[in-house]
Structure 1
Amino acid sequence: MRAVEITGGAGPAEALTLVERPYPVAGPGQIRIRVRAAGVNRPDLLQRQGRYPPPPGASDILGLEVAGEVDQVGEGVDRWRTGDRVCALLGGGGYADQAVVDARHALPIPDGVDFIQAAALPETVCTVFANVFESGALRAGETLLIHGATSGIGVTAIQMAKAAGARVVATSRGAEKAEAARKLGADLSLDSGSDDLEAAISVFGGVDVVLDMVGADYAALNQSVLKPFGRWVVIATLSGSLAQVDLARLMMKRIVLTGSTLRARPADEKARLISAVEATVWPWVASGQVRPPLEATFPLDQASAAHLRLEAGGHVGKIVLTA
């Protein structure tokens, strides 16, 4: 089968190479998917740069989410049959013609959702659900602040929060991105390059939950605009990981500060999360309330171009590889 390997070099053109590898085989409790599309995510860039190695037992091939048809079913798997249309959360292995995954980490593709749309969902939706709705405990009527709101995670978080009956404050860089976030449903969409974020969010009434993909640069802002009993959830540190936190303010406001990653979670925990996503989020996907916009698609042999597009930072929504 075709697969994209990391072969060294600093940039994607030097680091990513299309090679031939043996077809993987579905073991007990696993399914093999004929990959039709694979999501491209920021952790893929970090792995290519040598900064985010795969967890033990995971494929060295990039790719954390795929969509396609089941073409092999391992021993002990009852739910899936050959030919089923599925998307799946992977620990790695998505940039290939075939991917093997724990059968419990797959989801049925709803009617009306094509493979490209489906490939943009598993890693992104699971990240948002685990952090915004579980760690962040966002409820209907509350307000979610999303930094980096036009990223793949950001656009999905806007849609999921609105589907759950919450209000959304979005920050993004540039007037065009701010307008894109507003069109996706943000109740207040701010340009981080020109707007006075603290003043605008304070006038809006503050926020209950922060989904923070920026890190250090927005630490003071988050502490200021969070309401009492607010939840600050960190999932990336694009501006740095060393932040100044006023512990007295956290105490006085009773703010909860937490963070997480998804890829290294145990298989049983991922299975639990997938089940919760299917119960809560999948009806929103089926109804069309959650359909993250696609920035671009690239063939598998142009994975380096896909990485360059994501690294450029001008995207709104998801970037997907097609087989």
Structure 2
Amino acid sequence: MPTWDNVPKGQMTAAVLTNPGYSADPSDCFTYSTDYPRPTLPSPEWVLCRVHAAGLNRAELRGRTGAAPFIGEFIIFQKEYREEPPKILGEEFVGEVVEAGSASGFTEGEKVTGFLNGGGKAYDGAYAEFSLSHRRRLYRLPATTKLPWNVLAAVPMSMYTAWGALNLAAGLGERRKKDNKPVVVLIHGATSSVGVWGLLVAKDAGATVIATTRNTEKIEKLKAAGADHVVLEDDIDTEVLKIAPDGVDIVVELVGPDHIARCANLCARRGTAVLVGPLNKNWSAGKFEPFYIPPTRNVSFFTMTNSGPGSEDADVDHPTVEALLSDVVHKIETGVYPQEVVVDKTFALRDIGKAHQYCEENRAVGKVVVTVP
């Protein structure tokens, strides 16, 4: 449970998880409430925000079923780990500051995005009119942007995860072109929101992108998003090496850790395979052993940094993330990242169950968003 006493102040609209568990209709798991208790600041380092839109994430789908979260999802809040989901799910939001704690560094009225811990599993999340965020995981959006809230909501965590996997874990920006040929990036699970952002970020950096999908109906959408090549799941082991006979420079592995050996074997010399979140909901690498990794290949993992002493916020600091958000918002505004690629579908909060079902049916290519009245 959270380490503070939070006395509610007033009421708010929220999608409440009243019946967690597997259900043929995810809508049966939620109750739309207009009188849910509105939270108050737990300490001067916290901020209360008016949520305008929230992006959906796989952790929330797992939370809705009652599945225990992976402890790494709790980022700076690992001491508050618990297995059961909260009443309000939601890992991220975009909105405005309503009340800022005296030690938060924020002011009322600022446009912000909150990166919440593990889908709100240590405290209520973003499927609500108001949400709490700790100052270390709240970031300013460009004050002058005119982008609609649903587009802004498609950016934060998926974009940052893709950018971090490519740049912080795999060193995309530091890699040299070989024989004047661009760096080759393979995105395994490219139709996910992180996958689409990986495609956009890699192409913007000048890379050649190979995207994968299980669904032939999504091939043209991935090509429209900028993929140079699209390979079907069953053909990866043969078709990728036809495109890149010496292997790929970077693999962004989104399907699951149990594909780690396969990823490493597709890498070129000094190539890097980066594990991210498991679309297949499997956190285990199975019988994999470290000595399976070829000595001239690398395997890494990317998520937001966890709690700990010293430089635990390195590369998640406000100047780094806010500059990145500003750059990405500008590129959406100028069409470098097309809005129709960034956002797949928008639902109203009242229809959160339908949004979950849409995600679980793997119908999206990109981000699914809910708007909050």
Shorter-chain TM-score: which interval?
Answer: 0.7 to 0.9
How many Å separate the matches in 1 of 2:98 and 2:315?
24
Change (3 A) 1:36 1:280: closer
Q: How does 1:186-225 map to 2 (within 5 A)?
A: 186-193=227-234, 196-205=235-244, 206-215=247-256, 218-219=259-260, 221-225=262-266
Displacement after TM superposition at 1:309 (Å): 0.5
Displacement after TM superposition at 1:274 (Å): 4.9
- For structure 1, list consecutive stretches of 5 or more residues without a partner in the other structure: none
1:10 corresponding residue in structure 2 = 22
1:257 aligns with 2:295: no
How many Å separate the matches in 2 of 1:266 and 1:216?
23
Bigger CA drift: 8-17 or 40-49? 8-17
What TM-score comes out, normalization by structure 2 length?
Answer: 0.77
Q: How does 1:266-285 map to 2 (within 5 A)?
A: 266=307, 269=312, 272-275=315-318, 276-280=320-324, 282-285=326-329
Q: How does 1:156-167 map to 2 (within 5 A)?
A: 156-167=197-208
2:369 corresponding residue in structure 1 = 320
Bigger CA drift: 35-44 or 16-25? 16-25
Change (3 A) 1:236 1:105: closer
Change (3 A) 1:212 1:50: same
Displacement after TM superposition at 1:35 (Å): 0.6
Displacement after TM superposition at 1:187 (Å): 1.7
Paired residues of 2:46 and 2:100 also in contact (CA < 8 A): yes
How many Å separate the matches in 2 of 1:114 and 1:266?
33
Bigger CA drift: 264-273 or 196-205? 264-273
Paired residues of 1:150 and 1:181 also in contact (CA < 8 A): yes
Paired residues of 1:107 and 1:274 also in contact (CA < 8 A): no
Q: How does 1:69-148 map to 2 (within 5 A)?
A: 69-78=96-105, 80-91=106-117, 92=120, 93-110=125-142, 111-139=145-173, 141-148=182-189
Give secondary structure in 2 for the equivalent of 1:21.
strand
1:25 aligns with 2:44: no
Displacement after TM superposition at 1:257 (Å): 1.7
What TM-score comes out, normalization by structure 1 length?
Answer: 0.87
- For structure 2, list consecutive stretches of 5 or more residues without a partner in the other structure: 1-11, 176-181
Q: Tell me the amino acid that sits aligned with residue 7 of structure 1.
A: T
Give secondary structure in 1 for the equivalent of 2:206.
coil
Give secondary structure in 1 for the equivalent of 2:316.
helix
Aligned residues: 318
Give secondary structure in 2 for the equivalent of 1:176.
helix
Paired residues of 1:214 and 1:238 also in contact (CA < 8 A): yes
2:349 corresponding residue in structure 1 = 300
Displacement after TM superposition at 1:192 (Å): 2.3
Paired residues of 2:260 and 2:275 also in contact (CA < 8 A): no
Displacement after TM superposition at 1:164 (Å): 2.4
Change (3 A) 1:142 1:245: farther
2:5 corresponding residue in structure 1 = none
Deviations 1:224-243 (A, max 9, x none): 32111111111234454344
Paired residues of 1:167 and 1:187 also in contact (CA < 8 A): yes
Deviations 1:4-31 (A, max 9, x none): 2322342222322233322222331222
Give secondary structure in 1 for the equivalent of 2:37.
coil
Change (3 A) 1:89 1:270: farther
Paired residues of 2:141 and 2:325 also in contact (CA < 8 A): no
Bigger CA drift: 179-188 or 127-136? 127-136
Paired residues of 1:219 and 1:243 also in contact (CA < 8 A): no
How many Å separate the matches in 1 of 2:261 and 2:97?
47
Displacement after TM superposition at 1:202 (Å): 1.4
Change (3 A) 1:246 1:90: closer
Q: Could you tell me which of 29, 44, 69 is aligned with 2:60?
A: 44
Identity of aligned residues (%): 31
Give secondary structure in 2 for the equivalent of 1:5.
strand
